[in-house]
Structure 1
Amino acid sequence: MDSVSGERLPRGTAFYLGVQTAIERLLLFVVPVAVYRQTGSLSSSGLAYVAEWLPVIVLLPLVGAVVDRSSGPRLLRVTNICRAVVCALVGLSTTLGLGVVPLVLAGSVLGVANIFAYIIFERYVSGFSGEGVATAYSYFQTLQYTMLLAMPVVGGLALSGHGLPWLFALCAAVYAVAALLGPSMQLPAASEPGEAEPSWPDRLRAAVQLARNPLARTVIVLLFAVNLTYGVLYTALPALTSAGGHADVLLPLGYGSAALISLLYFRSAAWLHRHHLVAKLGIAAALTTAGAPLALATTNTPVLAVVVFAVSIGPMVAFTIWSRVVRNQLLDPRHFSLQASVIMTGTTAAYPVAGAYLGLVGDRVPAQLAVAAVSVVCLGMVVTTLVSLRRGQMLGAA
């Protein structure tokens, strides 16, 4: 796969893809919050999270295979049209007061559409090398976290029966404009000129081979632990803070602080890409999973804000390191999107697990205890994984 220099990275295309995935990320967190506001049940909020993420997990490998064989710009245009229609319909349903079911269905459909944009971004960035990769990912993530500074407004809309229709109308307009004005971009070829397209059995073998790779399994375990902590904490935040009267404070603080720190991180991301990548990934995962149980020992809002800040930063660092590990050491250019989707399936499976966990215990135990318990388990997963790594091999992977 040919690479191009980091200096030639088209910022407009990164912005275009980053804004799309940021909107989806925002909506995926808004829907469980809205469900909690309407039902008062953390278990219902957790089950809504499962319903949103389960189709994403099931369809991820198929999406990866489709992206490998299709035109990225055309796929983006089609998915943007679909997302605009879905947002318009769910906005209408909330106006008519049809309850939380349309919200959950919309979150699920938008989540599936989002993975097309995200995997296309992964494949697009694979055409860059060295500093270009660091720049692309840090720029992409800065856009995502900065976009989530809108969470104070979104929190208010989630509480208002009249506000959600306007939110979805705005999202529908953004997707419609993106479908009309999306920039052209050249995705790296999956195969060399004159080389036959890989058959479906070849693709299946490539996916199985990646799943057997020890480094791939290590990355999946670490990021699964990060995502499980992240998903449980953010889904449970309304229940954690509602008794203290600060229901809409922590989401803005967490995302806002992550957005601000990402501006500095954008400048220093290349440092993360040089040496001992898996060790750094493990440290980021450990900090993320350790923060929640320590901070949740108190109901003090400023202390919780510090924890939310830490848990927001950890995934950002971890996923940028993951991008370098995956691109350089794990993925075959002929099966790039399919293999990337295999990794993503393993790591994002944490989200429906988080929802199922809260669906089971959310209304039976205090929210703080539920979050602290799963965080301790995730921290144990991270520490056990790091201890099992052999120094000088995966810990030193560059």
Structure 2
Amino acid sequence: MSTLFFFMLFCVMTADGLMVFLTPVLVYQLTGSIEYSGLSYALWWLPRILIIPFIGKYIDRLGVRPLSVSSDLIKSAGCLFLAFGSFSSDLSVAVAFGIVGSIISIGNSQTVISYEKLVSTLSSAKEHHANLISRMDFFGMVAGPLIGIALIEYGYRMLLVVPCILYAVNALFFILKKKQLRDTQVIKSHSPVSSTNREADFIQSIRIVILSPVLLLCICLAAGNNMFDGLVESSGTALIDRVMGLHIKYFGLIDVAAGVCGVAGTYLYGSLNSRMSRKSMLLFAIIIITVSSLLMLAYPSLFPVFVGGYALSITGKVFTGNICRMIRIETINPSNFAGASSLIVLFNQSVLPVIGMIIYFSGDTTKPVYFFMLMSVVISFAAGIVLCRQSISKAESPEPSKVV
């Protein structure tokens, strides 16, 4: 796979990172309410978990290119709507940013699953390219918030044009890459696909997931990690304002620090991958995640501890994310990969809208946030330890059909 593919992935992840920074900051800034921040976050994630299975199915059936182009053009239009729209109430602000956020979130899933499909189908160096996906993700997590922090003083409407342009450029890139991406489409017969066949494909994807204990444990581990990250992303602005007494723009430093540690984690993972067993790296990651997260909960009013602990936990999550990604790539057949992988992503992230609604209905208080943070640490630790006891050594990867 060419370097240009991963540069365009970086551009999209930068746009996504900017929107992840802007949405909670602007909703809290415009409404002053932690409840509306929670509602916006729930709206951000709920449509995503409902649509993800269809994304995977159509990536398998149509190929990467058509969905990538459509997704980026829709995300670009959503950013323009927020940039030039006017909102009459706090509820309309939360709903508008939540709905556009859900479009961004769905597009992010499509991007990640598409690139995993490219690695599964086209790559001859799967471990390296899977790690590059994580690296570009975290580079975007750094670049996006930095752009936001630098330009937010000039007004958010102008700032929203930046992701709009990045999404449009990526759509153009995939429009021009028709020849290279033709092998990511499953070869179909001329006979129409019946509803029975579609149901059989869906059932097959479910069976792949639920009949694999290792995949189920990966889901539990990712769900615990996502639960903690979701609480930080949805409530971090309010925690900085109310518990730490700082300006809400410092929320961007959380994402920047996490992104820097995430990028460092991808290099550390690449360095240790040939020297440590997969089980040892997983255990190392679980210890980092648990200790750093508990430090955040022990000193909630100290901003440096909060930022440092969260950033350090992201380093551990790079390891767990890469290990779980490689388990998926090695376990699932390429012809069923996107469909089954999209179901796994759905299960991984199904906790996020639930967390958003819990925050919304819990009232304007921060206490439930810390309780669910502790619960998420327990879930991640338990799932990680059990996964360490399973056989997760490196498996034989399926043969690539074509190398770009």
TM-score of the two chains, using structure 2 as the length reference:
0.83
- Name the CA distance, whole Å, in 2 between partners of 1:261 and 1:383: 19
| Match 2:138 to one of 136, 140, 145 | 145
Aligned to 1:379: 377
Structure 1 residues 179 and 17: alpha-carbon distance in aligned structure 2, compared to 1, 3 A threshold: same
Aligned to 2:105: 111
Matched, 1:328 2:320: no
- Name the CA distance, whole Å, in 2 between partners of 1:102 and 1:356: 16
- Name the CA distance, whole Å, in 1 between partners of 2:84 and 2:229: 31
TM-superposed deviation, 1:165:
1.1
Gaps of 5+ in 2: 396-404
- Name the CA distance, whole Å, in 2 between partners of 1:290 and 1:239: 24
Structure 1 residues 357 and 188: alpha-carbon distance in aligned structure 2, compared to 1, 3 A threshold: farther
Aligned to 1:235: 234
Structure 1 residues 296 and 225: alpha-carbon distance in aligned structure 2, compared to 1, 3 A threshold: same
Matched, 1:353 2:354: yes
- Name the CA distance, whole Å, in 1 between partners of 2:59 and 2:319: 26
Corresponding letter in the other structure for 1:107: G
Percent identity for Structure 1 against Structure 2: 20
TM-superposed deviation, 1:342:
0.8
- Name the CA distance, whole Å, in 2 between partners of 1:320 and 1:344: 14
Aligned to 2:345: 344
Contact 2:254 2:307 survives alignment (8 Å): yes
Aligned to 1:62: 54
Secondary structure, aligned partner of 1:248: helix
Q: Report matched runs for 1:304-319 at 5 Å.
A: 304-319=306-321
Tell me whether 307-316 or 283-292 shows the greater mean CA deviation: 283-292
Structure 1 residues 386 and 110: alpha-carbon distance in aligned structure 2, compared to 1, 3 A threshold: closer
Aligned to 1:209: 207
Matched, 1:133 2:123: no
TM-superposed deviation, 1:222:
0.4
TM-superposed deviation, 1:395:
5.1
Corresponding letter in the other structure for 1:221: C
Please give the per-residue CA displacement for 1:219-269, whole angstroms capped at 9, x wherever unaligned: 000000001011102222212221422433353244245326615733642
TM-superposed deviation, 1:376:
2.1
Q: Report matched runs for 1:186-201 at 5 Å.
A: 186=181, 188-189=183-184, 199-201=197-199
Aligned to 2:225: 226
Please give the per-residue CA displacement for 1:44-67, whole angstroms capped at 9, x wherever unaligned: 111111101100000000111011
- Name the CA distance, whole Å, in 2 between partners of 1:278 and 1:190: 34
Q: Report matched runs for 1:1-398 at 5 Å.
A: 9-93=1-85, 99-128=93-122, 132-149=125-142, 150-155=144-149, 163-182=155-174, 184=177, 185-186=180-181, 188-189=183-184, 199-212=197-210, 213-243=212-242, 244-256=245-257, 258-259=259-260, 262-263=263-264, 265-266=266-267, 268-269=269-270, 271-272=272-273, 276-277=277-278, 280-281=281-282, 283-285=284-286, 287-298=288-299, 299-329=301-331, 331-361=332-362, 363-364=364-365, 367=366, 369-388=367-386, 391=389, 393-394=390-391, 396=393, 398=395
Length, aligned pairs only: 382
Contact 1:295 1:307 survives alignment (8 Å): yes
Gaps of 5+ in 1: 1-8
- Name the CA distance, whole Å, in 1 between partners of 2:384 and 2:100: 38
Please give the per-residue CA displacement for 1:273-297, whole angstroms capped at 9, x wherever unaligned: 7865366446534532542332233
- Name the CA distance, whole Å, in 1 between partners of 2:183 and 2:306: 44
- Name the CA distance, whole Å, in 2 between partners of 1:57 and 1:193: 27
Contact 1:63 1:116 survives alignment (8 Å): yes
Structure 1 residues 52 and 207: alpha-carbon distance in aligned structure 2, compared to 1, 3 A threshold: same
- Name the CA distance, whole Å, in 1 between partners of 2:110 and 2:264: 26
- Name the CA distance, whole Å, in 2 between partners of 1:151 and 1:390: 34
- Name the CA distance, whole Å, in 2 between partners of 1:279 and 1:352: 33
- Name the CA distance, whole Å, in 1 between partners of 2:275 and 2:352: 30
Tell me whether 205-214 or 246-255 shows the greater mean CA deviation: 246-255
Secondary structure, aligned partner of 2:248: coil
Please give the per-residue CA displacement for 1:174-225, whole angstroms capped at 9, x wherever unaligned: 2222223445132645657989989313312212212322111100000000
Structure 1 residues 17 and 115: alpha-carbon distance in aligned structure 2, compared to 1, 3 A threshold: same
Please give the per-residue CA displacement for 1:294-345, whole angstroms capped at 9, x wherever unaligned: 223321222222112123323222211111111012x122211100101100
Contact 2:219 2:347 survives alignment (8 Å): yes
Corresponding letter in the other structure for 2:134: Q
Structure 1 residues 123 and 396: alpha-carbon distance in aligned structure 2, compared to 1, 3 A threshold: closer
Structure 1 residues 324 and 65: alpha-carbon distance in aligned structure 2, compared to 1, 3 A threshold: same
TM-superposed deviation, 1:147:
2.5
- Name the CA distance, whole Å, in 1 between partners of 2:255 and 2:354: 22
Secondary structure, aligned partner of 1:245: coil
Tell me whether 201-210 or 42-51 shows the greater mean CA deviation: 201-210
